[in-house]
């Protein structure tokens, strides 16, 4: 379990679509969501399942990202990814949870530990929060997560499935 995770919109949206937003609690002691990310999640309106799940998640710490450093802005990422990286890079124990490949490359360049939605599911399995990852991963794919069958198989193999 990581001490603090700063989460972007896509993991929130995908996990909410399959009723698994709580998995974030299994992988981090403190789950932070920048206000810019909350705005992205809320963009479809209050009747959207992800917006409702995030609103109901009293365990989420909402945080203002403040100024995005030039080292992050230079990557031309989305506002949410930039906010996540700004918060995570200014918090020594924080991990970034984001799915965007370029955002994860930026995180690596900054020395910020990062993982995505699949990583959340794998870590939740290791923590004993779920009995198996494959059913959750398959539901995530059905809910719009873009992964190849080979990546899904490789992810399941990491935890012996």
Contact (Cβ atoms closer than 8 angstroms) between residue 51 and residue 45: yes
DSSP, res 43: G
- pLDDT for 46: 78
Per-residue pLDDT of 105-131, as tens digits, reads 999 999 999 999 999 999 999 999 999
pTM of the full structure: 0.96
Give CATH for domain 2-131: 3.40.50.1010
- pLDDT for 119: 97
- pLDDT for 77: 97
Q: What's the mean pLDDT when you consider all of the chain?
A: 96
Contact (Cβ atoms closer than 8 angstroms) between residue 111 and residue 95: no
């Amino acid at each position: 379990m990581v001490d603090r995770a700063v989460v972007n919109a896509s993991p929130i949206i995908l996990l909410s679509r399959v009723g698994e937003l709580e998995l974030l609690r299994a992988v981090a002691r403190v789950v932070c969501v920048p206000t810019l990310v909350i705005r992205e999640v809320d963009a479809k309106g209050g009747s959207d399942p992800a917006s409702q799940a995030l609103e109901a998640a009293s365990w989420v710490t909402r945080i203002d990202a403040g100024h995005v450093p030039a080292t992050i802005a230079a990557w031309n990422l989305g506002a949410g990814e930039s906010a996540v990286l700004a918060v995570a890079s200014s918090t020594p124990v924080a991990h970034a949870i984001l799915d965007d490949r370029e955002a994860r490359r930026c995180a690596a360049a900054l020395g910020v530990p990062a993982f995505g939605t699949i990583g959340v599911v794998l870590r939740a399995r290791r923590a004993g929060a779920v009995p198996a990852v494959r059913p959750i991963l398959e539901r995530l794919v059905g809910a719009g997560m873009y992964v190849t069958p080979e990546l899904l198989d490789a992810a399941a193999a990491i935890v012996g499935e």
